[in-house]
């Protein structure tokens, strides 16, 4: 069995919360290269989306493996130390605990992992977003695995006609539920339409073939205060009895609205970009997503291909920019600014607290 582990953290960036510098990426590359030599992992690819450092790793130790998680944690700690030396912005930001305790869950970094038996050929996509939250993946993951208007194979490929199972996490209650499409599609949508509360965590084909994994880590739930959005990642397997890569990418052609953007407090379009454009600028955005394609071959990563570095996504980007411009004109007003309930874990309550005693009873 092969496991793909994508573990990410914001541990410091340049020009504010904008870009992870090469200085940190090269430390991460060096650490992971040494780990390959020691046999801890089989292969890796280091990249970044905006201010988030991304460790994409393969191994055969299974999900939630202590050694692999420790490697990621120690790598982030080393990078954070250098970030502090360089006085980078937000140095060590997502490393919320002092000591490692078995795995990085609940410690700040985001994690998506998928263990599977390699097929004759195993193409995967790794998606990584900045300035948004795990619920941003609900819509595209639903489209990929359950929407016949997106994924033609659901209708015409006998191998996926049987549908998919979605594991959904209730972030508030810390509970899981699994629903099967197409039979329970409406129930699934009833949950995952609430993107701030319910997030898709795993997807399997009807016969339990692992298909996708999404990070569901919530920084505020760990720190009990606003730290920044949770900038999610996802792993999606493609082809030969799963949605085709083109069907997977089709789900990102509508720049759907997500929560995050400036101060984690605004709604904005999720814009698919090339790795070289993965830096959030205007109003700290708009929220961006990159997608890298690999072949997982005997535990090694062959690739990547930078999926969104393509003209076919120009129209999506253009639409995202127009939407961004329109939304910005709302300034501090909803629905550009998030709903009051979603502002609970931002810096707004600190302001409202001051006004509390100024209110007098109305008749």
Residues forming the site for Mg ion (CB under 5 A): 10, 17, 50-52, 130, 228, 231
Phi and psi at residue 161, in whole multiples of 5°?
A: -60, -25
Q: Where are the beta strands (DSSP E) in the chain?
A: 2-9, 43-49, 52-59, 110-116, 123-130, 164-170, 175-181, 198-205, 210-214, 233-237, 257-260, 266-269, 271-272, 288-297, 300-306
Assign 231 to helix, strand or coil: coil
| Residue of 226, 230, 279, 345 marked catalytic | 226
Site string for ligand F6R, 93-132 (x = CB under 6 A): --------------------------------------x-
Q: How far is the CB of 260 from Mg ion (least distance, A)?
A: 9
Among 284, 293, 324, 336, binds ligand F6R (CB under 6 A): 284
Taking the C-alpha atoms of residue 47 and residue 27, their distance in angstroms, rounded to an integer, is: 12
Which range, of 31-39, 206-214, 258-266, 308-316, touches ligand F6R by CB under 6 A? 258-266
Taking the C-alpha atoms of residue 298 and residue 80, their distance in angstroms, rounded to an integer, is: 32
| Residue of 10, 94, 122, 231 marked catalytic | 10
Task: Reply yes or no on whether 74 is catalytic.
Answer: no
* Binding positions for ligand F6R, 212-231, rule CB under 6 A: 228-229
Which range, of 59-67, 138-146, 192-200, 256-264, touches ligand F6R by CB under 6 A? 256-264
Task: Reply yes or no on whether 208 is catalytic.
Answer: no
Task: Reply yes or no on whether 206 is catalytic.
Answer: no
**What region, left, alpha or beta, does residue 92 occupy, with left being phi > 0 and alpha being psi -120 to 50 degrees?**
left
Count of residues that interact with ligand F6R, criterion CB under 6 A: 9
Q: Is 135 among the residues that bind ligand F6R (CB under 6 A)? A: no
Burial of residue 189, with CB atoms counted within 10 A of its CB: 0-12 exposed, 13-18 middle, 19 or more buried? middle
Q: Which is nearer to ligand F6R, 122 or 284 (CB)?
A: 284
Q: How far is the CB of 227 from ligand F6R (least distance, A)?
A: 9
> Which among 55, 90, 48, 91 has a CA at the least distance from the CA of 75?
55
Taking the C-alpha atoms of residue 347 and residue 354, their distance in angstroms, rounded to an integer, is: 13
Which of the choices Mg ion, ligand F6R, none does residue 284 contact, using the CB cut-off of 5 to 8 A by kind?
Answer: ligand F6R
Supply the residues annotated as catalytic: 10, 226, 229
Q: Which residues contact ligand F6R (rule: CB under 6 A)?
A: 16-17, 131, 228-229, 262-264, 284
């Amino acid at each position: 069995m092969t496991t793909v582990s994508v573990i990410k953290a914001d541990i410091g960036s340049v020009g504010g919360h904008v870009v992870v510098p090469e200085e940190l990426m090269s430390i991460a590359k060096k650490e992971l290269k040494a780990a390959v030599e020691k046999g801890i992992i089989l292969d890796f690819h280091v990249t970044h989306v905006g201010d988030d450092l991304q460790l994409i790793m393969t191994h055969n130790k299974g999900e939630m493996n202590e050694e692999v998680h420790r490697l990621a944690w120690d790598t982030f700690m080393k990078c954070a130390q250098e970030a502090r030396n360089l006085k980078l912005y937000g140095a060590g930001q997502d490393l919320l605990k002092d000591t490692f305790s078995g795995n990085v869950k609940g410690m700040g970094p985001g994690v998506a992992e998928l263990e599977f038996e390699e097929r004759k050929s195993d193409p995967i996509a790794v998606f990584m977003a900045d300035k948004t939250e795990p619920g941003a993946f609900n819509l595209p993951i639903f489209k990929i695995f359950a929407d016949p208007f997106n994924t033609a194979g659901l209708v015409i490929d006998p191998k996926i006609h049987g549908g998919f199972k979605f594991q959904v996490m209730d972030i508030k209650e810390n509970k899981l539920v699994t629903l099967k499409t197409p039979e329970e599609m409406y129930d699934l949508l009833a949950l995952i339409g609430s993107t701030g509360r319910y997030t898709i965590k795993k997807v399997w084909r009807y016969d339990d073939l692992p298909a996708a994994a999404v990070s569901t880590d919530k920084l505020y739930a760990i720190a009990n205060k606003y730290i920044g959005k949770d900038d999610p990642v996802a792993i999606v397997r493609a082809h030969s009895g799963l949605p085709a890569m083109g069907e997977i990418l089709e789900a990102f052609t509508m720049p759907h609205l997500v929560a995050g953007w400036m101060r984690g407090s605004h709604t904005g379009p999720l814009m698919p970009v090339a790795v070289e454009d993965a830096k959030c600028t205007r109003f700290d955005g708009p929220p961006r997503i990159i997608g890298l394609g690999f072949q997982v071959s005997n535990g090694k990563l062959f690739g990547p291909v930078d999926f969104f570095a393509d003209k076919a996504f120009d129209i999506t980007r253009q639409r995202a920019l127009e939407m961004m411009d329109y939304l910005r004109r709302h300034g501090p007003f909803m629905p550009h600014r998030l709903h009051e309930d979603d502002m609970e874990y931002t810096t707004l309550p600190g302001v409202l607290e001051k006004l509390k005693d100024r209110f007098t009873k109305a008749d």
